Amino acid sequence: MARALITGGAGFIGSHLAEKLLDRGDEVYIIDDLSTGSINNIAHLKANPKFHYVIDIMSHEPVLAELVDLSDTVYHLAAAVGVFLVVESPVYTIENTVRGTELVLKWANKKKKKVLITSTSEVYGKSTRIPFNEADDLVIGPSSMGRWSYACSKLLDEFLALAHHREHNLPVVVARLFNTVGPRQSGRYGMVIPRFVSQALNGQPLTVFGTGQQSRCFTYVGDTVNALVGLMDHPETAGQLYNVGNPEEITIETLARRIITRTNSKSEIRYVPYSEAYSEGFEDMSRRVPDIAKVQQAIGYQPTVGLDEILDRVIAFIRQEQLTGTHP
């Protein structure tokens, strides 16, 4: 039996990861301050005697240190999420992201616990080289644009993690996630699929930012979780970083139309300029497509859930939440 700590374990991805590890018999500890996670995400896990949760901030070092000490492996998922939060609270984004990773690595290094750091496709910035490969140069926008603070914070996480591997021989692996989606994801911070689905089910206009011609690739949360566990379990992934995503690409406008169709909604599409949705001068990436050859070669990763099935599962989940009155 393995013992795993998940930071941000009451979040969308963290709760699915906890579920996966418990299902295979692991003992799971989580820490979450519920700033973007939800106790509802882990309510169904509380009865499991191998599940332990702590509601606390990452910077409470005695608590974090004890949890790391109790665990064999650490999945570090805790971070600010969503473009809305990044734009509105850049100080929080930068300080919490970097400080949390610093502390996790510090305490994991004491006893050389293997750590998985989740990063983001945002670190590729404004690169136009498609698909994005782990060895590519990164093209980040100017520091005067707060929108890039999240990408730079997560990039610093990567540098710090890999430096610990080189300098201290800490077993660390970095996973760059590309738009993970599925049940339990909130649209509160700008996540596009749950936001569109909620709007469509309520008969509201689907708000598409910009022209809608920007494209994204969406990965089912179960596929992401399988990749994270596979990377953590593999003995030769330490010191490496991997893209984790699904190369199936779709424009945001087409996504909106597909959700309207699959929900049988009468909603229309309303186009909102970036300056109105976020801030003046906001920049977005036109495409984000992962090259997943490296993770495929390492652990045999292959996405198993296509976009239409992802949408149907999210639609069913949000419909059920609306029926029970639990949808935020």
> What are the residue ranges spanned by the domains of the chain?
3-181+220-247+288-304
Whether residue 328 has pLDDT greater than 70: no
pLDDT, greater one: 80 or 47: 47
Q: Worst-scoring range by mean pLDDT, 78-82, 240-244, 284-288?
A: 78-82
pLDDT, greater one: 148 or 293: 293
Q: Return the structure tokens found at 222.
A: 């179960």
How many angstroms separate the Cα of 223 from the Cα of each of 172, 177, 240? Answer: 21, 11, 20
Residues known to be catalytic: 150
Q: How far is CA 220 from the centre of its chain?
A: 11
Residue 94: CA count within 13 A, CB half-sphere: 11
Mean per-residue pLDDT, 271-294: 84
| Model pTM score | 0.94
User: How do residues 286-308 score in pLDDT, each as one tens digit?
Assistant: 899 999 999 999 999 999 999 99
Mean per-residue pLDDT, 122-135: 95
Whether residue 213 has pLDDT greater than 90: yes
Please report the sign of the dihedral spanned by the C-alpha atoms of residue 307, residue 313, residue 316, residue 321.
Answer: negative
Mean per-residue pLDDT, 72-92: 80
pLDDT for residue 266: 97
Whole-number Å distance between alpha carbons of 31 and 63: 9
**What H or E segment, with its residue span, contains residue 206?**
strand 206-209
Mean per-residue pLDDT, 214-243: 97
Can you tell me whether residue 142 is helix, strand or coil? Answer: coil
pLDDT, greater one: 162 or 279: 162
Q: Return the structure tokens found at 240.
A: 């490496």
3.30.428.10, 3.40.50.720, 3.40.50.300, 3.40.50.620: CATH of 3-181+220-247+288-304? 3.40.50.720
pLDDT for residue 227: 98
Per cent of the chain over pLDDT 90 is 80
Quote the mean pLDDT of the chain. 93
The band of 217, judged by pLDDT with boundaries at 50, 70 and 90, is very high
pLDDT for residue 66: 97
Residue 216: beta bridge partners?
Answer: 250
Closest CA to 233 of 10, 8, 11, 24: 24
For residue 149, give the amino acid letter.
Answer: S
Residue 22: CA count within 13 A, CB half-sphere: 21
Mean per-residue pLDDT, 196-225: 96
Whether residue 84 has pLDDT greater than 90: no
The band of 189, judged by pLDDT with boundaries at 50, 70 and 90, is low
Whole-number Å distance between alpha carbons of 148 and 278: 13
For residue 56, give the amino acid letter.
Answer: D
The band of 96, judged by pLDDT with boundaries at 50, 70 and 90, is confident
